[in-house]
Structures are given as structure tokens and as C-alpha cells.
Amino acid sequence: MAVDELADPTLTILITADRVPARPAAPSAPASDLPAPSWAHGRRFPVTAATRAAVQAHAGRTSRAYVVGKRVVDVIGSALLALIVLPLLPVIACCIVLDSPGPVLYRQVRMGRHGRPFVIYKFRSMRPDAERHGGPVWAQADDGRVTRVGRFLRRARLDELPQLWNILRGDMTLVGPRPERPEFAPMLERAHPGYGLRLLVKPGLTGWAQVCHRYTGTVAETRMKLEYDLYYICHAGHGFDLQVLLRTVGVVLGMKGR
């Protein structure tokens, strides 16, 4: 989920223990007891107590071979992609500087696996003072804080390119649920019990929810993306990851980002 930027890109947020969800409990249901997916709008799971138990069980039994293989793909894939887009990076940087004053990159605290905070990097797509007065809020359609260049970067998802560094560092993976801001996590967990199950896996540069559903800017709309994320967690595999990556290429080329 894409969210607004910090007013000061160098600001560090202190996250206290009561704001970071605890490590999910041990699996309590067999991995085979998966709920029936909904096919009406794509492969996703309804958010129910049975779903939550099944997701915990399945995530706790992920094979070591898949975890190791996924990390190898992450390192090689992100390194190759970084080399491919390297000539584009200074062009993007110049466009950002010429379009609006402020830094080229900004940093923001997000929640990683098991709620571990990490600093995410993105190309700046909003005014530097985007959150100076209103605090952390989600971006909306036709948000006036988004710059002209930023609007293009968001549609093409080019603002996410610096996160290749997060993948190389091990904070993120190529495919997985998008990392959430700690400011929004308690609210989303109250609205959608089970939202914290997304923290069972590493957050991703792209995900099943991102290629299947439009950008969400409200608490109510996040439920649909949660259903897609839960489906991904239970069916994660190299073939599924490849499918998500190929569909992401279509989103980028079609300028279908938020």
C-alpha cells in the first residue's frame, strides 16, 4: 500500500513495543485446512477465524528450500534489475529536482517480518512538507501534494526502485505483501482482525494484492487487499512469484500504478 511521505526525509520515528504487533502465535491448524478461495474477483481468502488459523499454520510450515531459493532469486534478481535501471536513475533524480525543491530520496519507517521496523527508501513523489501539518495520512486519488513528476513515477511505479537496496539488505523480498507504516498498523488490525498475519512473511516490492486490486486509500478498502495477501501467504511458491512479477511488468508498462 502506498502512503504519504514524511515531511522530513531524515526524520527517525521511535517505535515503542506496544505499537509493533507481537510475533504471531504458533500454528494451531493443519496446513491442509485452507478456506475456499473466492474466485469472483480473483484468488483471495475471506478474512475469518478459520482463515487466520490456516494462514498461521501454513506460514509456519514453509519449506527451507523455498526460503533459501527465494533469497537467492531476490539477490540475483534485484542486482540485475538495479544494473538495468542504473542509467535511468540520474534522469529520474534530475527530473525530481527540477520539478520541485527538496531531496531526491526520502526515508520512511515500515514494518518488516514479525513487526521488525526498518527504513524504506523511495524516490520523492510529494512535496517535502506533505505531512508537516496533518501528520501521517494515506495518499488519495488526485492528491494535491503529489508533484507532477511524482504522479508519473507513481503510475509507472518507478518511485519504488530504491527499494532494490532494501531487497539486497534483506529487509524486503521481490514478491510479498507491501510493508505497512507502524502508525497505521493498530488501526488496521482493529478494523480487520488478522491484518497482522501479513507480518508472517517478508514485505515485498510488489505483491499479489498490488497486481489484482486498485490502490486503496481508506481503511475499508484495505480488507480486499488483505484477502489477496492471505491467499498469497498460503500459496507462496516460485511459480506464483513468477506470475506476480510478470503481471507487475504489465502494470508498469501500462502505467496502471496508483
The confidence score (pLDDT) of residue 135 equals 67
Number of residues that make up the chain = 258
Q: Supply 207's cell numbers.
A: 505483491
In whole angstroms, what is the distance from residue 236 CA to residue 73 CA?
Answer: 14
What is the per-residue pLDDT across 83-93, written as a single tens digit (0 to 9) for each?
Answer: 999 999 999 99
Span 231-242, average pLDDT: 93
The confidence score (pLDDT) of residue 14 equals 38
pLDDT band per the 50, 70, 90 thresholds, residue 204? very high
Amino acid at 104: V
**Residue 120 parent element (H or E):** strand 117-123
* Single pTM value for the model: 0.80
Mean pLDDT of the chain, nearest integer: 82
Cβ–Cβ < 8 Å for 177, 207: yes
The confidence score (pLDDT) of residue 244 equals 96
**Which residues, including other chains, have CB under 8 Å from residue 151's CB and lie 6 or more apart?**
125
The confidence score (pLDDT) of residue 179 equals 96
The confidence score (pLDDT) of residue 37 equals 56
The confidence score (pLDDT) of residue 116 equals 96
What is the per-residue pLDDT across 12-37, written as a single tens digit (0 to 9) for each?
Answer: 333 333 444 444 443 334 444 556 55
pLDDT band per the 50, 70, 90 thresholds, residue 10? very low
The confidence score (pLDDT) of residue 15 equals 38
pLDDT band per the 50, 70, 90 thresholds, residue 220? confident
The confidence score (pLDDT) of residue 163 equals 98
The per-residue b/e assignment along 174-204, b for 16 or more CB within 10 angstroms, e otherwise, is bbbbbbbbbebbeebeeebebbbbbbbbbbb
The confidence score (pLDDT) of residue 39 equals 46
Span 96-125, average pLDDT: 94
Higher pLDDT, 54 or 117: 117
> Looking at the predicted structure, is the pLDDT value of residue 64 above 70?
yes
